[in-house]
Amino acid sequence: MKRALLVTLSAATVLSGLAAAAPVKLGILPVTVEPNAKLLTLTAEGIRKAFPSAAGRPDVVFVTEDRKVSVAFEWREGKLATNEVEKLVAQFPALIRAQVPNIKSLKANLLQQGGTSWAQFVFTTPGQGDELRRELLMTSLNGRLLVVTVAGNVKDYSRNEAVIKNLTSSVRLN
pLDDT tens per residue, range 5-33: 333 343 334 555 544 557 889 988 999 99
Q: Give the DSSP H or E segment for 165.
A: helix 154-169
pLDDT of residue 141: 96
Q: What CATH code would you report for 24-173? A: 3.40.1000.10
Q: Which residues pair with 150 in a beta bridge?
A: 71, 135
Dihedral sign from CA coordinates of 139, 50, 160, 104: positive
Q: What pLDDT, on a 0 to 100 scale, did the predictor assign at position 74? A: 96
Q: Shortest CA distance to 132 belongs to which of 109, 101, 110, 163?
A: 101
Compute how many other C-beta atoms are within 10 angstroms of the C-beta atom of residue 87: 13
- In terms of phi and psi (left: phi > 0; alpha: psi -120 to 50; beta: otherwise), the region of 101 is beta
Distance CA 124, CA 122 (A): 7
The chain-wide mean pLDDT, for the chain, equals 88
Can you tell me the mean pLDDT for 123-148? 96
Average pLDDT over residues 145-151: 97
pLDDT in tens, 95-135: 999 999 999 999 999 999 888 999 999 999 999 889 999 99
In the chain, domain spans: 24-173
Q: What is the mean pLDDT of residues 137-160?
A: 97
Question: 3-state secondary structure string, 35-66?
Answer: CCCCEEEECHHHHHHHCCCCCCCCCEEEEECC
Indicate the pairing of strand 116-125 with strand 132-141.
antiparallel
Report the pLDDT value the prediction gives residue 23, as an integer from 0 to 100.
Answer: 85
